[in-house]
Amino acid sequence: MQESAHPLALRVNTAQRVAAYAAFAAVSTTLNLVVQQIAVMSMTGRAAGVLPLSILVGTAAGFGAKYLLDKHFIFFDRSTTCRDETRKVVLYGVFGLLTTAIFWSGEVGAFYVFVTAEAKYAGAALGLAVGYATKFILDGRYTFTGAQPSPDAMTGDRRGAVRSRVASDLARSS
């Protein structure tokens, strides 16, 4: 059974997807930090494990939100089986670790080369940009393989698959 295209995928171009991806990155980062702060405030006066626990719950909140936003509104993925979701969450997490390493490399590398706070933050910004761009490409190519691309994002085999589907639909209707 051929799955129909996601209705939003037909109306969203690549520039809009990239803008939404950046906005969702900001939303998930903000959610991560807010949840961390709530965790710290709720555990004030407790054991020394406050910092790691706050980072863990903040990261989980940001990761979950970004995954769902990317799945539904960036890559228009409609898969629903537990096996597919598990594979996608694992790949999404692995690619997140890889791109975090890119971010940290930019931040630390700039600091060690230029030895200034400004360089550290400039390297962090560059590392984040390169990391998110890399993650966007990796997730589109490997994580959300059942996704419905927007029309101007179709290349290679996807374009041919759409053409053959349109041709078969036209043949059936005539």
DSSP code string of 94-131: HHHHHHHHHHHHHHHHHHHHH-SHHHHHHHHHHHHHHH
Say if 43 falls within a structural domain.
yes
Say if 47 falls within a structural domain.
yes
pLDDT-derived band at 122, boundaries 50, 70, 90? very high
How far apart CA 124 and CA 129 sit, in angstroms, is 9
Say if 146 falls within a structural domain.
no
Say if 38 falls within a structural domain.
yes
pLDDT tens digits, one per residue of 36-73: 889 888 887 766 678 888 889 989 999 999 999 999 99
Say if 159 falls within a structural domain.
no
Q: State yes or no: pLDDT of 165 exceeds 90.
A: no
Say if 94 falls within a structural domain.
no
pLDDT-derived band at 135, boundaries 50, 70, 90? very high
Say if 24 falls within a structural domain.
yes
- Tell me which residue has tokens 């200034």: 116
Give the CB-side neighbour count of residue 110, counting CA atoms within 13 A. Answer: 18
Number of domains in the chain: 1
Q: State yes or no: pLDDT of 158 exceeds 60.
A: no
pLDDT-derived band at 147, boundaries 50, 70, 90? low
**What range defines the domain where residue 25 resides?**
1-78
How far apart CA 108 and CA 142 sit, in angstroms, is 28
Say if 166 falls within a structural domain.
no
Average pLDDT of the residues in 109-137? 92
